[in-house]
Structure 1
C-alpha cells in the first residue's frame, strides 16, 4: 500500500506540476471546483453503503448476498441525484465557469461503481491487491489529460483525463473481485443501511474536510468577488503538496480497518490495542519533520515546483503541513472506532466538526481569504480528531509513542535551523537546488532520529519483516 501511495502521489503530483506550469493557476481553479463538486455529490449517491459493504464482507458471512444487496442499494440511491443534476445543468455550468455539467454526472456515476469495487476488494481482506489499482487514476489523469491539453482541449482535457482514469478503475477493480453476486435480501439491505446510516457521517466528514473549502471559495468568487480562480488553484496546490507527508499514514489506516474488523468479530481487542501505537509511530516520524521543513521552504517549494503565481499560498502550505500532524493521528483513532462497530460515535464527532468547519470557512474566508479557509479546515479537523480519540478510549486503551514523537520534534527543530542556514547560502532557483536542500534536511533528520535507541529499535521492528520477505524472494529468484 505504501509503494502504491508513493506511485499514486508522484503521478498525481507530477500532473499538478505539469498542468500548473502549462496552464497556470486559473484553469486549475476551475478543475478543482469541478472535482470538489463531485466529491460533495458522492455523499447523497453513496449514503455509507460502500463502507457498510466493506464491513459486512470483511466479517466473512453471506458475502454474495451482501454484495448483491449493496449493488441494488447503490443503483437505487444514485438515480434521483443524477436526474436532478441533469435538470440543473445550466446552473452547474454557470457555477463552474465551463460547460462541464453533463460530464460531471457521467463521472459521478462511474466513480460510485469504482468505489464500491475497491471497497469489496478490501472487504475480502485483499487490501494489497487494491494497491496497483489506486495508481491508475493519477497516471491516467497525467498521460491522457496532458495529451488532450496539448491538443487544445483546455480545462476539459483535465476532466477527460479524470474520466478515463475513473473508467479504468471501475473495470479493473470489478474484474479482480472474487465474491459472487448472489441475490439481495431484505435483511442484508437492512443491515447495510443500519451500518451505513452512521458510517456515512464520517464519510461526509472526510468529503467536507477535503472539498467544502473549495466550494465556498468558488462561491465567494462568483457571489462576493474577493477570491480569484488563480488563488483557488494555488490554494489546492498547497493542499496537495502537503498531502505527500501522509502517504504512510493513509497506507496504514487503509490496511488496518478490515483486520481490526476481523479481530473485533473474534473478540481480540487486545490485539487492536497492541497495534495502535505501532500504527501511529511511522506517520508521526514523517509528518513532524515535513512540517518543520515546510516552515522554512514554503515559498521556495511553491515557486520552484509550480511557478511564482502560486506563492500567494505560502502561508496556506505551512498551515496545512501543521494540520497533517493532526490528520496522521485521526486515522489511527477513527478507523478502529469504525472497525469495532461503533459508527454512531464517529458520526457524533464528525457532525460536530462539520458544523464548525462550515461556519469557520464562511466567516474566515470572508475575513482572510484562502488563509482563513486553511485555518478553518485545520481547527475543525483538530476538533474531530480529539473527539474520535475520546470515544475510542472508552473501549480501547490508547497508547501513543509520545517519547519517540517528542524526540522527532527536537530533531526536526535542529534540522529546520540547519536547512534555513543552508537555504540562505544556496539560492534555490531550480528543482535540483530544491532537491539538494531537501535531501540535506532528510539526511540530518534520519541521523538524528536514529540516535535515540527506542526509536531506532521501533524502526527496526517495523522494517525487519519487510526486509526479510524481500530478501527471501530475492534468494528464491
Structure 2
C-alpha cells in the first residue's frame, strides 16, 4: 500500500501535460484491450449483422448528439478554459443543451417512421434515452475539461468505456443482443457522469445574453466543423448500410475499431492539449504552441507508423483468428484504414490547433471541402467495390483535409516537424517489418499464440530500436520512469 501511495505521489510531480497524457494513454490502452476482447466475443456470439446494427446506432447517436449539442460544448470548454466568468458560461451552455435536446427528441418522435433501421433493431427508444442522458452528462464533462482537469476527465471516460463493456458482455450472453449493446452505452455514460460530478466545481448562476452571444459566435463555426468531422467519420457507415447491408457495416466497423490501436498516443495528447493550447493562445505564448504541435505529431507517429507496417504483415491472420472467417475479408480495408490513421495524426492536430487558437472558421472551411468530397466518393465507390471503396474514399479525403489544414494553420504559426525523429521512426519501423517478415516466411501462423508471438517480437524490436536511435524519446521516457519510481531499473545498455 505504501508503495502504491509513493507511486501516485511521484506521478503528481511529473509535468502536467506529461502526467495527464500518461493517464489518458493508460485508459486508452486499457479500454482498447477490453474493447478488442469484447468485440471478439460479440463477433463470435452475435455475428456481423448484430454488430452492424449496433454500429449504425452509434453512428446515428453521433450525428444527432452533435445536433443537440449545437457546438456549444466545445465553445463552453473554450470560454471556461480562458478563466473569465466560467460559472456563467457553464450555466448558459447547460440551459442551451437542455433546450436543444428536448427539441431534437420531439423532432425525432415526429419523424420516427423514417428511421427504418433503428426501428427494426429496436434501437430507436435507446437512442432517445441516450440523448436525454447526454444532455446532463455532456455539460458536466465539458465543465471538467474546461477547468483542465484532464486526468479526471480521461479517467471517467475510461470508466465509462469499461463499464459499458461490463454490461454488454453478460447482456449478449443472456441473448439481449442489440438492446444489451445499446443499454451498455447508456449505463457507461451514467456511471461516468456520477463519478465526474464528484470533481465538478462549477455552479449554476444567472447568465446574461452576452454569455450566450459569446458562446454562439464560437460555437457557430465549431458546430459546422464538428458536424463536418462527424459526417466525415460516419458517412461511410451510413452509406454502407444504405447501399449494402448491416453485415457489411459490422465488418467495416470492426476493422476500423481494430485500427484504433494506432491512435493510442494521438488520442491521449489530443484530449490533454486542447485546453492548454487555448490558454497559450490567449496569453500569446505561440512558441509553446509550436513546440507542442511538433512533439505531439512525433509522439503520435511513434505508434501509428509501426502499427501500419505490422498490419500489412500480420493483419490477415489477426482478423481471421480474432474475429472469424467473415471478418477476414476486411484485410484490404484494414491496410487502407491504418494508412488513414497515419494521415489523421496530421489532419486532426492541425484542425484541433485551429479551433484552440480561436480560428474555427478556418477549420470549418477545410472540413467542409473534405466532407463534400468524402460523401461524393463514398456514393461513387461503395456500389462499385463495396467496403474497400469506403476505405479508399476516407483515405483520399483525409489526405486532402490534412493538406488544406496545414495550409490554413501555417498562416497563424510556424509548423515545424521534427524530421530527425520522423526519420528514426521510419527506419525503426522498416527494420521491424523486415524481421517480422522473415519470421512469417519461416514460421506458419497456424494459431493465435504463434501470431501473437510475432506481434510481441515486432513490438520489442521496434521499442529497442526507437529508444536506441532517438535520444530525445530515450531521455524523456527514462525521465518519466525514474520520476514515477515504480521500481523498474532503466537498462544501462540502451
TM-score range, shorter chain: over 0.9
Alpha-carbon offset, residue 46 of structure 1 = 1.2
- Separation in 2 of the partners of 1:347 and 1:381? 14
For the structure 1 residues 63 and 472, does the alpha-carbon distance in structure 2 shift closer, same or farther, using more than 3 Å as the test?
Answer: farther
- Separation in 2 of the partners of 1:464 and 1:297? 31
Alpha-carbon offset, residue 332 of structure 1 = 2.5
- Separation in 2 of the partners of 1:388 and 1:66? 29
Equivalent positions of 1:335-414 (< 5 A) are 335-414=352-431
- Separation in 1 of the partners of 2:455 and 2:232? 29
For the structure 1 residues 416 and 460, does the alpha-carbon distance in structure 2 shift closer, same or farther, using more than 3 Å as the test?
Answer: closer
Q: 1:190-235: per-residue Cα shift (whole Å, max 9, x none)? A: 1011100011123123312321111111111xxxxxx232221111
Q: 1:259-306: per-residue Cα shift (whole Å, max 9, x none)? A: 111111111111111222111111111111111111111211111111
- Structure 2, unaligned runs of 5 or more: 1-23, 489-494
For the structure 1 residues 97 and 433, does the alpha-carbon distance in structure 2 shift closer, same or farther, using more than 3 Å as the test?
Answer: farther
- Separation in 1 of the partners of 2:390 and 2:402? 18
For the structure 1 residues 425 and 126, does the alpha-carbon distance in structure 2 shift closer, same or farther, using more than 3 Å as the test?
Answer: same
SS of the aligned residue for 1:135 comes to helix
- Give the conservation status (yes or no) of the 8 Å contact 2:240–2:248: no
- Give the conservation status (yes or no) of the 8 Å contact 1:216–1:362: yes
- Give the conservation status (yes or no) of the 8 Å contact 1:86–1:101: no
Task: Give the equivalent residue in structure 1 for 2:351.
Answer: 334
Equivalent positions of 1:31-430 (< 5 A) are 31-94=54-117, 97-220=120-243, 227-430=244-447
- Separation in 1 of the partners of 2:409 and 2:39? 37
SS of the aligned residue for 1:42 comes to helix
- Give the conservation status (yes or no) of the 8 Å contact 2:55–2:250: yes
Alpha-carbon offset, residue 473 of structure 1 = 11
SS of the aligned residue for 2:485 comes to helix
Q: 1:381-401: per-residue Cα shift (whole Å, max 9, x none)? A: 111121111111111111111
Match of 1:466 among 464, 480, 483: 480
The answer to whether structure 1 residue 439 and structure 2 residue 424 are counterparts is no
- Separation in 2 of the partners of 1:459 and 1:307? 38
The more displaced of 459-468 and 439-448 is 459-468
Alpha-carbon offset, residue 417 of structure 1 = 2.5
- Separation in 2 of the partners of 1:189 and 1:144? 38
- Structure 1, unaligned runs of 5 or more: 221-226
For the structure 1 residues 88 and 276, does the alpha-carbon distance in structure 2 shift closer, same or farther, using more than 3 Å as the test?
Answer: same
- Give the conservation status (yes or no) of the 8 Å contact 2:25–2:265: yes
Q: 1:86-120: per-residue Cα shift (whole Å, max 9, x none)? A: 22333324456312212211112223432332221
For the structure 1 residues 269 and 62, does the alpha-carbon distance in structure 2 shift closer, same or farther, using more than 3 Å as the test?
Answer: same
For the structure 1 residues 109 and 143, does the alpha-carbon distance in structure 2 shift closer, same or farther, using more than 3 Å as the test?
Answer: same
The answer to whether structure 1 residue 25 and structure 2 residue 42 are counterparts is no
For the structure 1 residues 463 and 377, does the alpha-carbon distance in structure 2 shift closer, same or farther, using more than 3 Å as the test?
Answer: same
Alpha-carbon offset, residue 187 of structure 1 = 0.4
- Separation in 1 of the partners of 2:126 and 2:448? 36
Alpha-carbon offset, residue 465 of structure 1 = 4.4
- Give the conservation status (yes or no) of the 8 Å contact 1:361–1:376: yes
- Give the conservation status (yes or no) of the 8 Å contact 2:118–2:124: no
- Give the conservation status (yes or no) of the 8 Å contact 1:90–1:101: no
- Separation in 2 of the partners of 1:385 and 1:203? 16
Alpha-carbon offset, residue 139 of structure 1 = 1.5
The more displaced of 270-279 and 348-357 is 270-279
- Separation in 2 of the partners of 1:389 and 1:459? 25
Task: Give the equivalent residue in structure 1 for 2:26.
Answer: 3
Alpha-carbon offset, residue 424 of structure 1 = 2.9
Alpha-carbon offset, residue 253 of structure 1 = 1.4
- Separation in 2 of the partners of 1:96 and 1:260? 43
Alpha-carbon offset, residue 378 of structure 1 = 1.4
SS of the aligned residue for 2:181 comes to helix
Alpha-carbon offset, residue 361 of structure 1 = 0.9
SS of the aligned residue for 2:411 comes to coil
- Give the conservation status (yes or no) of the 8 Å contact 1:304–1:431: yes
For the structure 1 residues 425 and 34, does the alpha-carbon distance in structure 2 shift closer, same or farther, using more than 3 Å as the test?
Answer: same
The more displaced of 389-398 and 96-105 is 96-105
- Separation in 2 of the partners of 1:311 and 1:334? 34
- Separation in 2 of the partners of 1:414 and 1:468? 29
- Give the conservation status (yes or no) of the 8 Å contact 1:69–1:189: yes
Q: 1:54-107: per-residue Cα shift (whole Å, max 9, x none)? A: 000000110110010001111111222211212233332445631221221111
